[in-house]
Amino acid sequence: MSFEKFELHAKIFAGVQALGYTVPTPIQLKSIPPIMEGRDVMGLAQTGTGKTAAFVLPILQRLMQGPRGHIRALIIAPTRELSEQTHKAIGQLGRRAQIHSASIYGGVGIGSQITRLRDKVDIISACPGRLLDHIQRNTIDLSHVEVLVLDEADHMFDMGFLPDVRKIVKHLPKQRQTLLFSATMPNDIKSLANDLLLNPVNIEIGHAAPVETITHKFYPVQMSSKTELLKNILDNTETDSVLVFTRTKSRAKSVAQQLDKSGYKVTSLHGNLSQQKRQQSLDGFRDGRYEIMVATDIAARGIDVTRISHVINYDMPSTADAYTHRIGRTGRASKIGDAFTFVTADDAGLAHSLKRVLGDKLQYRSVDGLTIGMPSDKAPAHSNRGANEMKFNGGRKIFSARTQTKRSPARRSFDNSNRSLWSPRSPMAV
Ligand code: AMP
């Protein structure tokens, strides 16, 4: 199955080829035809599934006909990073077709955005707050919008943006196509979809569990040993780019500083940084100048750095959904990724819930002198597994001190020789 089946305009097909896409991903296969027919679509899809192109390509196809220079498509996303990424994808896929987009978000001056909006723009990729600001100042004309996309709708809900989204929608033509994408479907998103989508085609890709190619390793640890454990893992694992998550902005900053002092090529990304600093961190991480980025959840939403081989949860995320989103930063496209999570005694409850979702894919690991025993419900009679390979089985298990800390790289990153996320045999290919 190739992209030719969609009969895209030659100039848009050229964009697909320029990005090197040869086989559509499952969400592209399922979404592109109904979107091209003008249907509303509700897509339940994890991050990293190729959903951006799934909606951008049909939008570009639609814009090949009709007038140019009016805003005919509006994409609303929760974070500046995601908004920028979508804007970039439109630039890459739509370059030959000369379709122009602009991204609109807060934290940067509004003046240059106003100037940009006076130019000819066909697509807007925006965050809700700043978009509403432009609407209120009358600096944006949304009266020509034909397609509305709500991307990562559950994140918008998490971040308290749904009231803003509802206000924005009131300024759009009633006659339009609406597409809603979300990795999870909490009730508030269902009711938003009920209100905004007309007889939608429902598309579900995989389930709300992290992508299949990722391995999940949990390290029971005390708070005070986390940084040493992190360094130990970094020193003993062959990695490409590593994304480390902390719970707070101050911890993201201090962990990055500690790693920097120890000689790692590290940067940080959190809400206390100016937009310019955030962009510098992201660019440096993307182009490989920094091998490690320490970030908070909000800052890291939507990051698409294809080389991320490992996500390390320095702090456990607060919900299973948040875990899914963090882990969605690795294993993107057809890459294989590893997710390491530091689990303290306080995190035992969520660790249990994740065990239910991940099943056998979750392995508990120990590192000599740095990890601790992990208390749980029931003692298994025997375990014939090595301490380092022990799978969590809901039993009371104290890690033995007999552990092996590897001195040489344990594995090659991205050994994706025959394990494509999108191969027809993959459980992801629905
Ligand atoms: P997304 O879920 O839209 O953030 O996409 C995740 C990653 O997959 C991005 O790096 C895309 O450029 C890439 N991607 C999207 N569609 C394809 C495809 N059909 N073939 C290869 N890579 C793709």
pLDDT of the residue at 273: 86
Q: Which class does domain 3-204 fall in?
A: alpha beta
391 phi, psi to nearest 5 deg: -90, 145
Which tokens in the block code for residue 209? Answer: 């569990």
Ligand 1: which of 55, 81, 304, 307 to mutate, judged by most atoms within 8 Å of the beta carbon?
304
Question: Taking the domains of the chain in order of start, what are their residue ranges?
Answer: 3-204, 214-416
pLDDT of the residue at 387: 32
Q: Point out the least confidently predicted range of 71-85, 198-212, 322-336, 357-371.
A: 322-336
In this structure, the number of other CB atoms found within 10 A of the CB of residue 338 comes to 22
Percentage of residues in the chain with pLDDT exceeding 70?
81
pLDDT of the residue at 304: 67
Tell me: pLDDT of 428 over 50. Answer: no
Q: Are 298 and 327 in contact (CB under 8 A)?
A: no
Which tokens in the block code for residue 288? Answer: 């490989």
Name the burial class of residue 14, with classes exposed (0-12), middle (13-18) and buried (19+) by CB atoms within 10 angstroms of its CB: middle
* Distance (Å) from CA 199 to ligand 1 centroid: 28
Sign of CA dihedral 77, 79, 80, 84: negative
Mean of pLDDT values over 185-191: 89
pLDDT of the residue at 373: 75
Tell me: pLDDT of 410 over 70. Answer: no
Q: Give residue-wise pLDDT tens across range 355-398.
A: 877 877 888 898 988 988 754 433 333 333 333 333 333 322 22
Q: From the CB of 286, is ligand 1 less than 6 Å away?
A: no
Angle, vertex CA 48, rays to CA 45 and CA 51, nearest 5? 55
Mean of pLDDT values over 35-41: 97
Residue type, 159: M
Q: Give residue-wise pLDDT tens across range 44-78.
A: 887 677 899 999 999 999 999 999 999 999 999 99
Mapping DSSP onto H, E and C, the string for the chain reads: CCHHHHCCCHHHHHHHHHCCCCCCCHHHHHHHHHHHCCCCEEEECCCCCCHHHHHHHHHHHHHCCCCCCCCCEEEECCCHHHHHHHHHHHHHHHCCCCCCEEEECCCCCCHHHHHHHHCCCCEEEECHHHHHHHHHHCCCCCCCCCEEEECCHHHHHHCCCHHHHHHHHCCCCCCCEEEEEECCCCHHHHHHHHHHCCCCEEEECCCCCCCCCCEEEEEEECHHHHHHHHHHHHHHCCCCEEEEECCCHHHHHHHHHHHHHCCCCEEEECCCCCHHHHHHHHHHHHCCCCCEEEECHHHHCCCCCCCEEEEEECCCCCCHHHHHHHHCCCCCCCCCCEEEEEECHHHHHHHHHHHHHHHHHEEECCCCCCECCECCCECCCCCCCCHHHCECCCECECCCCCCCCCCCCCCCCCCCCCCCCCCCCCCCCC
Task: For residue 242, give every residue at least 6 positions away whose Cβ sits within 8 Å of its Cβ, in sequence order, or none.
Answer: 234, 291, 292, 293, 308, 309, 310, 311, 312
Q: Point out the least confidently predicted range of 261-270, 289-298, 384-393.
A: 384-393
3-204 matches 214-416 in fold:
yes
186 pLDDT band (50/70/90 cuts)? confident
Angle, vertex CA 302, rays to CA 296 and CA 308, nearest 5? 80
* Distance (Å) from CA 6 to ligand 1 centroid: 17
pLDDT of the residue at 183: 84
Mapping DSSP onto H, E and C, the string for 59-76 reads: HHHHHCCCCCCCCCEEEE
265 pLDDT band (50/70/90 cuts)? very high
* Distance (Å) from CA 105 to ligand 1 centroid: 23
pLDDT of the residue at 300: 64
Q: Give residue-wise pLDDT tens across range 85-142.
A: 999 999 999 999 999 999 999 989 999 999 999 999 999 999 999 999 999 999 999 9
Q: What is the mean pLDDT of the chain?
A: 82
Tell me: pLDDT of 425 over 60. Answer: no
Q: From the CB of 304, is ligand 1 less than 6 Å away?
A: yes
Residue type, 379: A
299 pLDDT band (50/70/90 cuts)? low
| Cα maximum dimension of the chain | 72
Of the two residues 234 and 411, the one the predictor is more confident about is 234
Ligand 1: which of 25, 46, 86 to mutate, judged by most atoms within 8 Å of the beta carbon?
25
Q: Ligand 1 atom 1: the closest Cα is on which residue?
A: 50
Tell me: pLDDT of 412 over 50. Answer: no
Mean of pLDDT values over 245-254: 95
The Cα–Cα gap between 349 and 368 comes to: 25
The Cα–Cα gap between 200 and 40 comes to: 5
pLDDT of the residue at 25: 87
The Cα–Cα gap between 342 and 251 comes to: 14
Tell me: pLDDT of 211 over 70. Answer: no
- Considering the four listed CATH numbers 3.40.1640.10, 3.40.50.300, 3.40.470.10, 3.10.129.10, the one that applies to the domain covering 214-416 is 3.40.50.300
Q: From the CB of 51, is ligand 1 less than 6 Å away?
A: yes
Percentage of residues in the chain with pLDDT exceeding 90?
54
Q: Point out the least confidently predicted range of 33-37, 56-60, 405-409.
A: 405-409
The Cα–Cα gap between 328 and 326 comes to: 5
Angle, vertex CA 281, rays to CA 279 and CA 287, nearest 5? 95
21 pLDDT band (50/70/90 cuts)? confident
pLDDT of the residue at 315: 96
Q: From the CB of 21, is ligand 1 less than 6 Å away?
A: yes
Q: Ligand 1 atom 6: the closest Cα is on which residue?
A: 48
The Cα–Cα gap between 176 and 171 comes to: 12
